[in-house]
Amino acid sequence: MKYQTLSLLFLMSLLGCDSSTTTVEDVSDKVEVDSSVRPEKVKSPPEFLDPVYRPVIVNMENLQAGSSSSTRFSPQKTSANTTVTHGATLGTGQPDESVKVTWTYLKTDEQGDHYHFEKTKIDKSSQQKMMSKEIQYTGKKQLIFEDDFQRTWISPAPVEKAEPDRN
């Protein structure tokens, strides 16, 4: 018994226990404990929204020759680490020179649908000049690139009417 008392006193001195320490029985009488369980709100990773504005048309206009190239597409929500790139090429009116425009749908948020566009000018000497631009598309005709030869737009595609069944 003497050995146990000495051990207890030794532990109390190590732990800093003194006469002002409240025992467990005393705490339960003085403190109200809220025993209800409240689940914590865990922030989940943001989910990407489906594209709001679809289908759309990307139109490349050759200002000097009067020709154009239009591509109609419907952007789709992609899975993680996946991108889908679209593209079109149009001559500039100069011999052996063309412009390639590619675009990728990135995401949709409160500001609109986000796209990344790249324009590459290719000439006969194989020199490439590249420009890139990220836009927020809000469903209205929007100018992407413009120079002395070409203009590139994104705009809403006209809604196609379904033909009635003829049965």
- pLDDT at position 64, please? 84
- pLDDT at position 29, please? 47
Q: Kindly provide the b/e burial profile for residues 101-135, where b requires at least 16 CB atoms within 10 angstroms of the residue's own CB.
A: bbbbbbebeeebbbbebbbbbbeeeeeeeeeeeeb
- pLDDT at position 33, please? 42
Residue 120 main-chain phi, psi, to 5 deg: -125, 125
pTM above 0.75, yes or no: no
pLDDT < 50: residue spans in the chain: 17, 21, 24, 26-45
- pLDDT at position 164, please? 67
- pLDDT at position 148, please? 86
- pLDDT at position 138, please? 95
